[in-house]
Amino acid sequence: MSRLLSALLLAPLVLASGAHAADVEGSLRVTGRMLVDSNAPRDFSDDQPGGDPSPDMAFSLLGAAEARVTGERLQLVGRYELGGRKYLSYADEDVLVQAAAVEGSTVLGTQLAVGVEGRGKDRRGGSRDYSDLGAGAFLEYAPEVRLALRVRAGAHRFVYRPDGRANFGGPEGGFLGRYRFNRRHALSVFGDYGARRYGVEARLPPGREGPSLGRRQDGALSAGAGYTYRGAWALGLTYTYQEVSSNSFGETVLRHRLSGSAGLRLPWRLTLLAQGAVGLSRYPDGIYLSPEIILVEEDEGQNSLSLKLARPVNEHMDVELSYGLYSTTLQRNELSYFRQVVGLGLTWRL
């Protein structure tokens, strides 16, 4: 079934490189969970009595398909995900999300490769109802098996349906470098920059009068480094600096974020997976409750911790218990965001 799925998704490359010479690989995974969510609407609180939302139960379903076709000189990789979440009481937070990414490349000699890539994400429901699209081209240089460098350039389009003021588009570019010391240790560095153009006028500071600043324009910078270890257990650690500089008052934000992940096999065929992040955000103009403040928290807050304990039932199915904790504090207005999610589910894979 996985080979059939791959062939359907990646047929163009099979035709281009010769079906008899193409190697087809694919996988399919479906996860269903019952959840208890302590803050389904993701409300901020001022710690006043009666201000916290009531817990709610939900059911989530996520399917993911991956496929790869490799020819003599060509390669095409595709991924598609479809997920949904249904709440019992907070129906406004029901959500349907789908995301897809595709990448095609061809080698030039023994060290260079060029390719094109595209990505898309569409989220419906709740307060984060948006579409996020991107496409571009890249050049990859791999002088040896341990080192790979990639530079890319493309375009980015974002549409936020609840409030068109947050819509933007513009060019973007970036780089990624990886160096593998040996089979277990590897380092990576990355950076991205996007010039975002909006369809609204830039906002003047409160109380200031003067000529218009013109259309809102932002510069979005992201850079960081990461380390991974693969051995008896797995470990990943990444630092990211993000800066969005805007000519519109209240839209500039600076962020530092340290995230990590770990995987460990335990007795009784158990596997423990952990992810955590600590973040620090600064708003030079103070907190302005624009539409993008909500979107900035799409990663579930500045600080987070998630744990998953899984055990195989048979060759194709796992049972899992999960826990997530997410929090953010806005120092200037003493608002805080806190959420815990506990889940029990099954994962079927092929």
Residues 168-190, mean pLDDT to the nearest whole number: 96
**Are the beta carbons of 255 and 279 closer than 8 angstroms?**
yes
Residues 40-65, mean pLDDT to the nearest whole number: 76
* 151-158, Cβ contacts within 8 angstroms, sequence gap of 24 or more: 151/175, 152/117, 154/117, 156/194, 156/196, 157/132, 157/133, 158/130, 158/131, 158/132, 158/133
Q: Where are the domains of the chain?
A: 34-66+78-347
Among 44, 46, 97, smallest CA distance to 297 is for: 44
Instruction: Name which residue leads in pLDDT, 328 or 45.
Output: 328
Tokens matching residue 145: 């098996």
pLDDT (tens digit, 9 = 90+) per residue, 92-110? 889 999 999 999 999 998 8
Q: 345 pLDDT exceeds 70?
A: yes
Distances (CA, A) of 322 to 56, 297, 340, 342: 16, 21, 11, 6
Render the burial of 159-183: b for 16+ CB within 10 Å, e for the rest.
Answer: ebeeeebbbbbbebebebbbebeee
Give the pLDDT band of residue 37 (cuts 50, 70, 90). very high
Q: What is the phi-psi region of residue 250: left when phi exceeds 0, alpha when psi lies from -120 to 50, beta otherwise? A: left
20-24, 112-116, 166-170: range with lowest mean pLDDT: 20-24
Per-residue DSSP letters for 221-257?
EEEEEEEEEESSSEEEEEEEEEEEEESSTT--EEEEE
What pLDDT is stored for residue 241 in this prediction? 96
| pTM of the complete model | 0.84
Torsion of CA 18, 19, 20, 26, to 10 degrees: 130
What pLDDT is stored for residue 232 in this prediction? 85
pLDDT (tens digit, 9 = 90+) per residue, 266-311? 999 999 999 999 988 888 877 655 544 444 444 455 788 999 999 9
Specify the amino acid at residue 96.
Answer: L
Residues 195-213, mean pLDDT to the nearest whole number: 85
48-57, 183-192, 234-243, 288-297: range with lowest mean pLDDT: 288-297
* Reported CATH class of domain 34-66+78-347: mainly beta
What pLDDT is stored for residue 298 in this prediction? 45
Instruction: Name which residue leads in pLDDT, 294 or 87.
Output: 87
What pLDDT is stored for residue 93 in this prediction? 87
Distances (CA, A) of 99 to 23, 79, 123, 155, 201: 25, 8, 9, 17, 31
**Are the beta carbons of 251 and 297 closer than 8 angstroms?**
no
Task: Express as a percent the part of the chain with pLDDT over 70.
Answer: 84
Residues 165-194, mean pLDDT to the nearest whole number: 95
Give the pLDDT band of residue 324 (cuts 50, 70, 90). very high
Mean pLDDT of the chain: 85
What pLDDT is stored for residue 295 in this prediction? 45
Give the pLDDT band of residue 17 (cuts 50, 70, 90). very low
Q: 139 pLDDT exceeds 50?
A: yes
Give the pLDDT band of residue 44 (cuts 50, 70, 90). low
204 DSSP assignment: P
d(CA 301, CA 278): 9
